A and B are shown apart, each in its own frame.
Chain A
Amino acid sequence: MNRMNIEEYKGVFIYAEQVDGVITNISFELLGKAKELASKLDTDVTAVLIGSEIEGLANSLAEYGADKVIVVDDKELKDYRTEPYAHALSSVINEFKPDIVLVGATAIGRDLGPRVSARVKTGLTADCTVLEIGDFPLVAIPNQEQKHNQLLMTRPAFGGNTIATIACPDNRPQMATVRPGVMQKIERIKDAKAEIISFNPGFTPDNKYTEILEIVKEVSNVADIQDADILVSCGRGVGSAENFKLLEDFANAIGGTVSCSRAVVDNGWKPKELQVGQTGKTVRPKVYFAIGISGAIQHTAGMEESDLIIAINKDETAPIFDVADYGIVGDLNKILPSLTAKVNEAKAK
Chain B
Amino acid sequence: MNIVVCIKQVPDTKGGVKFKPDGTLDRGAMLTIMNPDDKAGLEAALRLKDEYGAKVTAITMGLPKAEEVLREAMAMGADEGILVTDRRLGGADTWATSSTIAAAIKNLEYDLIITGRQAIDGDTAQVGPQISEHLDIPVISYAQEIKIDGDYVIVNRQFEDRHHVLKAKMPALVTALSELNDPRYMTPGGIFDAYDSEITVWSRDDLKELDDANIGLAGSPTKIAKASDKVKKGAGEVVSFESGEEAAAFIADKLIEKHII
Please report A residues at the B interface, Cβ cutoff 8 Å: 1-2, 79, 81-83, 86, 106-108, 110-111, 113-115, 117-119, 121-127, 136-138, 152, 156-171, 207-218, 220, 230, 254, 273, 278, 286-287, 297-298, 304, 308-310, 312, 316, 321-331, 333-339, 341-343, 346-347
Contacts and interface: CB of A to CB of B under 8 A. Distances in A.
Given A208-B137, A210-B168, A328-B247, A170 B238 contact: no
A163 B159 contact: no
Interface of B: 11, 13, 17, 25, 93-95, 98, 120-130, 132-134, 136-142, 154, 158-169, 213-214, 219-233, 235-241, 243-245, 247-252, 254-256, 258, 260-261
B150 to A, nearest CB: 13
A213 B166 CA distance: 6
Which of B229, B231, B232, B251 is the most central at the interface, judged by chain A CB atoms within 10 Å of its CB?
A: B251
B222 A326 contact: no
Contact of B224 (A165, A214, A254): A165
Residue from B95, B245, B254 whose CB has the most chain A CB atoms within 10 Å: B95
B224 A220 contact: no
Contact of B124 (A126, A137, A220, A286): A126
Given A123-B221, A330-B240, 15 more contacts: A1-B219, A1-B221, A82-B140, A83-B138, A111-B141, A118-B130, A157-B123, A163-B227, A166-B225, A209-B138, A216-B164, A325-B237, A333-B244, A335-B248, A338-B244
B240 A114 contact: no
Contacts of B133: 86, 114-115, 118-119
B167 A158 contact: no
A113 B129 CA distance: 9
Contacts of B138: 82-83, 207-210
A204 to B, nearest CB: 14
Contacts of B222: 123-125, 166-168
Contacts of A162: 25, 227-230
Nearest to A222: B161
Contact of A168 (B25, B221, B235): B221
Contacts, number: 272
Contacts of B236: 309, 321, 324-327
Given A124-B94, A338-B244, A343-B252, A161 B25 contact: yes
A137 B224 CA distance: 9
Contact of B167 (A165, A210, A215): A210
Contacts of B231: 163
Give the interface SS of chain B, mostly helix, strand, loop or mixed.
Answer: mixed
A328 B136 contact: no
Given A170-B221, A310-B254, A323-B235, A118 B166 contact: no
Contact of A1 (B165, B214, B261): B214
B238 A330 contact: no
B95 A117 contact: yes
B248 A339 contact: yes
A230 B252 CA distance: 14
Contact of A115 (B132, B229, B233, B250): B132
Contact of B123 (A106, A156, A214): A156
A158 B224 CA distance: 15
Closest 10 pairs between A and B when the two form their complex, measured CB to CB: A334-B244, A123-B221, A123-B222, A338-B248, A118-B133, A114-B126, A126-B124, A327-B238, A325-B236, A339-B248
Contacts of B221: 1, 121-123, 168, 170-171
Contact of B164 (A156, A215, A278): A215
B155 to A, nearest CB: 8
Nearest to B175: A111
Nearest to A318: B238
B164 A214 contact: yes
Nearest to B235: A322
B224 to A, nearest CB: 6
A298 B118 CA distance: 14
Nearest to B138: A208
A48 to B, nearest CB: 19
Contacts of A298: 13
Contacts of B250: 326, 328
Contacts of B247: 312, 328, 330, 334-335, 338-339
